[in-house]
């Protein structure tokens, strides 16, 4: 048997460097064995590969350490068989190291994407990480602005036309609303505090809830005597695995959009038929404090309407002289006697 180590074959086209190295090493091992059965060597190489992989990852076992020491002694003795085994082990180690690095990179990318989708930070656009779902919707309603505002602030009636709102109760003295809704087969509760409200124009609120909450603002813009635009901007903060998972598919966005359409249908099919039945919640609120109560605002509005009506009646009752002034007919001057 020659003492020279056989040269590794050239890399085959289309193979990675790690695979080419492994193939060449196994070829040298087959030549060194001199006809031994390849299947038997492959079985032993499997156990050696696992031990060497543990050694490369920093978990050397006593057997792996002994194997590594033995491989070094084989190389030092210069035996072709021992050199072939050492080359095969090196190729296997390099191949598994490359696979491990590639898998680690893919795992990091997937983890970042999942964290970003679940609102846990990680690569937010626009220079910051947003841990809430931003929802903005606008829709037009064919009704006067005061009617639309009163219908919106009749919170007790929301369960009548909104599909997923089961209960809503307003505390007019504190400016707070308690809600109960359905999410899939579960039920959720949250409390909303009105922090700013201008009757007929806007409502700003903050809310709290154990499984998520919504903060936002809704504004009312008159586009005509019988047309109003609603603009809704909401921050949805999911809490819990189910809420964060549903937020990946923007389930709350679709639900708010659908409930807003239910509100438009309710106003244009029910409210406009009897708008006098609405009272709404027209308190003025600043910094979560009720500055003017609902009754006080109603009294002031009724007083202002009465003054405007009286002013119009006074203008209508002013006397108007329709008689034309009589024209003075000039009398002829008496003629002088000649």
Residue 263's CATH number:
3.30.530.20
Which of 78-87, 140-149, 232-241 is most confident? 140-149
- pLDDT score of 273 more than 60: yes
My answer on whether 145 and 226 are in the same domain is: yes
Place of tokens 């007919």: 329
Percent of the chain at pLDDT > 70 equals 54
pLDDT, residue 277, reads 87
What kind and span of H or E run contains 216? strand 212-224
Q: How far apart are CA 219 and CA 231, in angstroms?
A: 5
Percent of the chain at pLDDT > 90 equals 35
My answer on whether 164 and 189 are in the same domain is: yes
DSSP string of 74-121, one letter each residue: HHHHT-HHHHHHHHHHHHHHHHHHHHHHHHHHHHHHHHHHHHHHTTS-
The stretches of the chain forming alpha helices (DSSP H) are 17-33, 38-56, 62-77, 80-117, 145-152, 158-161, 241-248, 251-269, 294-316
- pLDDT score of 212 more than 90: no
Select the more confidently predicted residue: 253 or 247: 253
- pLDDT score of 37 more than 50: no
Is residue 211 in a domain?
yes
pLDDT, residue 126, reads 41
Show which of 117, 144, 163 is a domain's final residue: 117
The pLDDT of 236-255, averaged and rounded, is 82
Q: How confident is the model at residue 44 (pLDDT cuts 50, 70, 90)?
A: low
Whole-structure pTM value: 0.57
My answer on whether 48 and 193 are in the same domain is: no
pLDDT, residue 241, reads 82
- pLDDT score of 73 more than 70: no
Give me the sign of the Cα torsion angle 212, 195, 266, 254: negative
Domain count, the chain: 2
Query: Residue 157, SS3?
Result: helix
Is residue 251 in a domain?
yes
Q: How far apart are CA 75 and CA 81, in angstroms?
A: 9
pLDDT, residue 38, reads 44
My answer on whether 200 and 290 are in the same domain is: yes
pLDDT, residue 163, reads 85
Show which of 70, 93, 117 is a domain's final residue: 117
My answer on whether 186 and 285 are in the same domain is: yes
| For helices 17-33 and 80-117, angle between their N-to-C axes, nearest 10 degrees | 150
Q: How far apart are CA 158 and CA 221, in angstroms?
A: 21
The pLDDT of 259-283, averaged and rounded, is 93
pLDDT, residue 131, reads 76
Q: How confident is the model at residue 132 (pLDDT cuts 50, 70, 90)?
A: confident
My answer on whether 146 and 112 are in the same domain is: no
Angle at the Cα of 76 from the Cα atoms of 73 and 79, rounded to 5 degrees: 95
My answer on whether 166 and 241 are in the same domain is: yes
Is residue 6 in a domain?
no
Is residue 322 in a domain?
no
My answer on whether 108 and 147 are in the same domain is: no
Is residue 325 in a domain?
no
My answer on whether 272 and 156 are in the same domain is: yes
pLDDT, residue 106, reads 53
pLDDT, residue 123, reads 39
Is residue 44 in a domain?
yes
The pLDDT of 77-81, averaged and rounded, is 56
pLDDT, residue 292, reads 95
Domain interval for residue 246: 132-298
- Please state, rounded to an integer, the average pLDDT across all residues of the chain: 75
My answer on whether 276 and 199 are in the same domain is: yes
Beta-carbon contacts of 178 under 8 Å, excluding residues fewer than 6 positions away, are 167, 168, 169, 171, 189, 191, 192
Show which of 117, 148, 167 is a domain's final residue: 117
My answer on whether 183 and 274 are in the same domain is: yes
Is residue 291 in a domain?
yes
My answer on whether 102 and 171 are in the same domain is: no
Beta-carbon contacts of 15 under 8 Å, excluding residues fewer than 6 positions away, are 23
- pLDDT score of 186 more than 90: no
Give me the sign of the Cα torsion angle 193, 196, 146, 313: positive
Is residue 10 in a domain?
no
């Amino acid at each position: 048997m020659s003492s020279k180590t056989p040269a590794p074959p050239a890399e085959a086209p289309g193979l990675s460097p790690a695979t080419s190295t492994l193939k060449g090493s196994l070829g040298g091992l087959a030549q060194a064995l001199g006809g031994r059965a390849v299947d038997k060597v492959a079985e032993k190489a499997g156990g050696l590969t696992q031990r060497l992989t543990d050694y490369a990852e920093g978990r050397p076992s006593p057997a792996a350490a002994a194997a590594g020491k033995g491989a070094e002694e084989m190389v030092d003795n210069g035996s072709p068989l021992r050199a072939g085994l050492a080359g095969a082990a090196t190729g296997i180690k390099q191949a598994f190291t490359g696979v491990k690095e590639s898998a680690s990179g893919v795992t990091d990318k997937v983890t970042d994407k999942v964290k970003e989708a679940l609102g846990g930070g990680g690569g937010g656009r626009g220079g910051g990480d947003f841990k809430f779902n931003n929802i903005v919707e606008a829709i037009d309603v064919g009704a006067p602005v005061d009617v639309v505002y009163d219908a919106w602030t009749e919170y007790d009636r929301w369960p009548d036309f909104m599909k997923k709102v089961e209960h809503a109760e307003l505390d007019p003295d504190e400016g707070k609303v308690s809600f109960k809704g359905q999410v899939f087969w579960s039920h959720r509760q949250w409390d909303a505090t009105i922090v700013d409200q201008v009757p007929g124009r806007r409502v700003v609120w903050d809310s709290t809830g154990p499984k998520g909450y919504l903060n936002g603002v809704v504004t009312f813009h008159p586009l005509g005597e019988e047309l109003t635009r609603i603009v809704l901007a909401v921050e949805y903060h999911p809490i819990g695995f189910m809420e964060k998972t549903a937020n990946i598919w923007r389930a709350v966005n679709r639900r708010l959009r659908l409930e807003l359409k239910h509100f438009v249908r309710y106003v244009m099919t029910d409210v406009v038929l009897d708008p006098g039945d609405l009272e709404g919640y027209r308190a003025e609120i600043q910094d979560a404090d009720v500055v003017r109560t609902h009754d006080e605002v109603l009294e002031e509005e009724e007083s202002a309407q009465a003054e405007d009506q009286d002013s119009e009646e006074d203008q209508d009752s002013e006397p108007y002289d329709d008689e034309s002034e009589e024209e003075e007919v000039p009398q002829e001057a008496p003629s002088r006697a000649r």
